[in-house]
């Protein structure tokens, strides 16, 4: 019998196969809070149970192939899966550790971890490198959760230090909704990584029907929409998925999505020079978002080899932002991180494949 990835099991599923059930809680804590790398390290388990675990499960669904570290502290990870496929994740330090004049810690470093949900992607966005290699398969729930676990372990981030998670890496999360929703619940387990759904943001290219399904699950997660254009003509050019899920259908699905009263729906807007960075686009975006508790995140296009799109000018980004703010739309400009490394989704994977053509 082939061994199973133990991280694919929720605590409840583990308690159904491991008796007595309290052992499942202990195992879960060893896995997600004590960062063990072998069953032998689970000191409070009887030997026969550790032998049983060793015979039926494995603890290494991912292995680190390569890490690139930026001057700004962000790290890009390339992980290998058991079947030889690879995915990427990114550790982003959002706020640095702060101490007072006496050296007393005021604030810990705050991190966001960007994770993948698929090997490759079906969506085929014109500006994205991930889709160029095609779609291979969905990631399992355990392959999703262990991206965060391994990054926390690799950076010695204490188990009680909470992180924010964004499903914005390789793949379309809502195209893998079953495993992504399971991962959301597993992240939230208090005996695991204990990451609240309010710290988890699911980003989608706009699969309207799946947005509706996610909303009915009422997981409590935050929602981000990769919009990138304000009319269907340009959006279909940038994102072919718009032919099936046009802007109107996305806006309608967002309006029905349950969101915490203290939170907003994020609209990601990738700004490309001379394409969608003008005041006319800003005006249409304000009109589109009317009636939605929204926040717009303007993103500089991050150029990669072979791309036809360019990075916008800073003055155009600021003017675009100012128009939105002046018309009542909360808007920020994402400060690009990792520009000196393979920061865009798919870049590190692409680079590694070119270096190893076999």
Q: Are residues 25 and 92 in the same domain?
A: no
Does pLDDT of 43 surpass 80? Answer: yes
Q: What is the CA radius of gyration of the chain?
A: 21
Dihedral sign for Cα 37, 41, 45, 49, please.
Answer: positive
Q: Are residues 191 and 53 in the same domain?
A: no
Residue 174 in 3-state DSSP?
helix
Pseudo-torsion of CA 312, 291, 173, 16, nearest 10°? 150
Bridge partner list, 334: 299
What angle, 0 to 180 degrees and rounded to 10, lies between the N-to-C axes of helices 314-326 and 279-288?
40
Is residue 91 within 8 Å of residue 75, measured between CB atoms? yes
Mean pLDDT lowest for which of 44-48, 161-165, 301-305? 301-305
Average pLDDT over residues 99-109: 59
Q: Are residues 14 and 152 in the same domain?
A: no
> How distant, in Å, are the alpha carbons of 62, 139, 308, 328, 335 from that of 271?
33, 29, 13, 20, 13
pLDDT of residue 44: 96
Q: Count, in order, helices (H) and strands (E) of the chain.
A: 11, 16
pLDDT of residue 303: 77
Which CATH number fits the domain that encloses residue 26? 1.10.150.530
pLDDT of residue 346: 52
Q: Using omega within 30 degrees of 0 as the cis cutoff, is the peptide bond preceding 20 cis?
A: yes
Task: Cite the annotated binding site for [4Fe-4S] cluster by residue number.
Answer: 121, 125, 128
Contacts of 222 (CB under 8 A, 6+ apart): 197, 198, 200, 201, 202, 259, 260, 263, 265, 266
State which of 16, 40, 58 marks the end of a domain. 58
State which of 17, 41, 58 marks the end of a domain. 58
pTM here is: 0.90
- Calculate the average pLDDT of the chain: 91
Q: What is the total count of domains within the chain? A: 2
Question: β-strand 57-58 against 62-69: which pairing, if any?
Answer: unpaired
Q: Are residues 26 and 170 in the same domain?
A: no
Candidate list 101, 331, 345, 352, residue with the active-site label: 345
Which CATH number fits the domain that encloses residue 119? 3.20.20.70
Candidate list 68, 88, 143, 268, residue with the active-site label: 88
Average pLDDT over residues 22-39: 97
Average pLDDT over residues 292-302: 94
Does pLDDT of 319 surpass 70? Answer: yes
Average pLDDT over residues 174-188: 98
pLDDT digits (tens, 9 = 90+) for 201-252: 999 999 999 999 999 999 999 999 999 999 999 999 999 999 999 999 999 9
Q: Are residues 68 and 35 in the same domain?
A: no
Q: Are residues 52 and 189 in the same domain?
A: no
Residue 9, domain extent: 4-58
Q: Are residues 17 and 79 in the same domain?
A: no
331 is catalytic: no
114 is catalytic: no
Q: Are residues 89 and 220 in the same domain?
A: yes
43 compared with 349, residue with greater pLDDT: 43
- Give the best-scoring range by mean pLDDT among 122-136, 223-237, 305-319: 223-237
Query: Could you give the CA distance from residue 358 to residue 355 in angstroms, rounded to a whole number?
Result: 9
Tokens 């810690």 map to which residue? 105
pLDDT of residue 358: 46
Q: Are residues 22 and 115 in the same domain?
A: no
Query: Could you give the CA distance from residue 162 to residue 56 in angstroms, rounded to a whole number?
Result: 31
Task: Cite the annotated binding site by residue number.
Answer: 121, 125, 128, 171-172, 203, 226-228, 302
Does pLDDT of 122 surpass 90? Answer: yes
What angle, 0 to 180 degrees and rounded to 10, lies between the N-to-C axes of helices 177-188 and 208-217?
30
Q: Are residues 54 and 127 in the same domain?
A: no
Q: Are residues 231 and 294 in the same domain?
A: yes
Mean pLDDT lowest for which of 35-44, 70-79, 182-191, 299-308? 299-308
State which of 19, 43, 58 marks the end of a domain. 58
Q: Are residues 291 and 305 in the same domain?
A: yes
Average pLDDT over residues 119-134: 86
35 band by pLDDT with thresholds 50, 70 and 90: very high
């Amino acid at each position: 019998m082939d061994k199973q990835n133990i991280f694919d099991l929720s605590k409840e599923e583990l308690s159904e196969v491991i008796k007595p059930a309290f052992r499942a809680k202990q195992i879960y804590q060893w896995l997600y809070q004590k960062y063990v790398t072998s069953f032998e390290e689970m000191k409070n388990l009887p030997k026969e149970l550790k032998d049983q675990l060793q015979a039926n499960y494995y603890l290494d669904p991912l292995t680190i192939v390569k890490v690139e570290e930026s001057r700004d502290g962000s790290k890009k990870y390339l992980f290998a899966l058991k079947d030889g496929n690879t995915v990427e994740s990114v550790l982003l330090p959002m706020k640095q550790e702060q101490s007072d004049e006496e050296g007393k810690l005021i604030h810990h470093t705050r991190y966001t971890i960007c994770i993948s949900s698929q090997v490759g992607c079906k969506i085929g966005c014109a500006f994205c490198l991930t889709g160029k290699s095609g779609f291979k398969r969905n990631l399992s729930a355990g392959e999703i959760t262990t991206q965060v676990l391994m990054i926390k372990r690799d950076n010695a981030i204490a188990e009680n230090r909470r992180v924010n998670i964004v499903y914005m890496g390789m793949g379309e999360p809502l195209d893998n909704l079953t495993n992504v929703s399971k991962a959301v619940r597993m992240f939230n387990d208090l005996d695991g990584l204990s990451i609240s759904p309010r710290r988890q943001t699911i980003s989608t290219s706009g699969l309207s029907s799946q947005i509706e399904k996610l909303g009915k699950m009422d997981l409590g997660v935050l929602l981000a929409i990769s919009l990138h254009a304000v009319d269907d003509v340009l959006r279909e050019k940038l994102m072919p998925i718009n032919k099936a899920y046009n802007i109107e259908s996305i806006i309608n699905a967002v309006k029905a999505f349950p969101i915490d009263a203290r939170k907003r729906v994020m609209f990601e807007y990738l700004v490309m020079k001379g394409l969608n960075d003008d005041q006319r686009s800003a005006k249409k975006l304000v009109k589109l978002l009317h009636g939605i508790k929204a926040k717009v995140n303007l993103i500089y296009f991050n150029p990669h080899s072979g791309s036809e799109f360019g990075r916008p000018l800073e003055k155009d980004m600021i003017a675009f932002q100012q128009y939105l703010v002046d018309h009542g739309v909360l808007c920020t400009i994402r400060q690009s991180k990792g520009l000196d490394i393979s920061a865009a989704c798919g870049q590190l994977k692409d680079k590694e494949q070119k270096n190893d053509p076999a």
